[in-house]
Structure 1
Amino acid sequence: MNISGEILVIHQGFIGAQSESNSMPPIGNLLKTDGLPSFIFLVADHYFESKIPGRVPSSYGLSPGELEEQQPHVFYLMRAMVQVVLVIANDGKGLVPPEKVPPIHTLLYVMNKNEFVKLMKSPAFISSLFNIDVNIVPQRNNAILLLFKRYIDMLDPDEKVDETLRLMRKLSSVLKDDYRTLKLFMDSLER
């Protein structure tokens, strides 16, 4: 399994995981923990923070190339982070709501294609994505939309239409009381 990050920050629904900047998982990607229960996370955002506690970065007014040439130490003082959101857990028998958050320093792994496809076909998983509080994770809809598009893009051409329709039917059920969000997803998936 490919390690994609390590949980370093847990704060009121916000989970930050350190990642190598050249291998940051894309927004809308799914990550998991190893063992049982296995926790499933959605990558919601990327950000950088200082490696030195309390240090506030300064603006230099330079392009990234100029900054790297003139002030290379700046990049050594920053670490690449991904904001992940705990979506659901797998207890070995099936998908269940997570009872707790995994501890700091838990490693996160990229899901393989078979795990990813199986999860995307699960109605429980699709429903759990919309349990993410948009007030805590304002990027929720964008991350879920990118997840759906990634899933549809990886399917064989014969499967794409059927799976898109299945997702739309599930979304109609899950978002029946949130017309604005439902319309956003329907319009985006139709393209």
Structure 2
Amino acid sequence: MEETEIGEVIGSSNTEFIAESSLLHNPPPFGSFIKVDGREPIYAVVINAYTHSLEPNRLAIAYHRSEQELRDEQPQIFELLKTKFEAVIIGHEQDGTIRHRLPPQPPRLHSFVHTCSPIEVRRLTSQLRFFRFLLAVEKAPRDELIAGVIRAAYTVRDGERSFLVHAGKELVRLIGDDYEMLSSILHRIQD
């Protein structure tokens, strides 16, 4: 099965990367699992997405028309817009095994980004060591991010209750006595 490219890496470090979405207004969902192509894939979680003008320091302006009306009347406007998304790296594959640690090298620029398959999500979430990476994120609300990741994994695991118990235990271990954060995450998972 051929994978569909959802973006291309345009900025990277060992801890995170930015990618330009293949389609305008269509980034991967917040909290979803994605991977970067390479000899050994790099796995990440989406932490932010945005659409902006290509011209630096210039905001888009309101035309008070529907998107379809704008596409019909002024299609060039959409050539000046790009959608980008940011992701935090949660691991990489080495010798066929997923390692929940940072890769030795950042993703290469212009590498393609794909959505992880359900099998890859199950492999990634069989152990939840990557929660530490998510707890260190400062660019997004951590409780929303962790809840989103747990919901995404739970969906792929067909509502496997033991996964929720495992995730809850790991959160208690990592968060400790921060009852506010734990409560916030649990409420967001239920929503």
Which category describes the TM-score, using the shorter chain as reference length? 0.7 to 0.9
Return the letter of the residue paired with 1:183: S
Say whether residues 1:26 and 2:29 are aligned partners. Answer: yes
Of 144, 147, 154, the residue aligned with 2:146 is 144
Where do 4+ consecutive residues of structure 1 move more than 6 Å? none
Q: 2:102 aligned with 1:102, yes or no?
A: no
Change (3 A) 1:97 1:38: same
Unaligned runs of 5+ in 2: none
Alpha-carbon distance, 1:139 to partner: 3.8
CA separation in 2, counterparts of 1:139 and 1:21?
Answer: 24
Render the CA deviation track for 1:155-179: whole Å, top value 9, x for unaligned: 335x2x2221111111101111533
> Which residue of the partner structure matches residue 8 of structure 1?
10
Alpha-carbon contact 2:33-2:44 (below 8 Å) kept = yes
Q: 1:74 maps to what in 2?
A: 77
| Matched ranges for 1:51-70 at <5 A | 51-52=54-55, 54=56, 56-65=58-67, 66-70=69-73
Secondary structure, aligned partner of 2:122:
helix
- CA 1:38–1:85: 2 relative to 1, 3 Å: same
Q: Measure the CA separation in 2 of the matches of 1:188 and 1:169.
A: 16
Aligned alpha-carbon RMSD (Å): 2.6
**SS at 1:123's partner residue?**
coil
Normalised by the size of structure 2, how large is the TM-score? 0.81
2:127 aligned residue: 122
Structure 1 residue 186: deviation in Å? Answer: 2.2
Where 1:122 maps in the other structure, the secondary structure is coil
Identity of aligned residues (%): 19
The amino acid of 1:103's aligned partner reads: R
Q: Would the aligned equivalents of 2:31 and 2:146 in 1 still touch at CA under 8 Å?
A: yes
Moved more, 27-36 or 59-68: 59-68
Find the aligned partners of 2:185 and 2:63 in 1 and give their Cα distance: 38
What is the alpha-carbon distance in structure 2 between the residues aligned to residue 49 and residue 31 of structure 1?
22
State the AA in 2 paired with 1:45: N
Shift of 1:14: 5.8
Give the TM-score normalised by structure 1.
0.81
- Tell me which residue corresponds to 2:165: 165
1:178 aligns with 2:178: yes
2:87 corresponds to which of 61, 84, 88: 84
- What letter corresponds to residue 73 of structure 1 in structure 2? Q
Q: Which runs of 5+ in 1 are unaligned?
A: none
| Aligned partner (choices 5, 16, 19) of residue 17 of structure 1 | 19
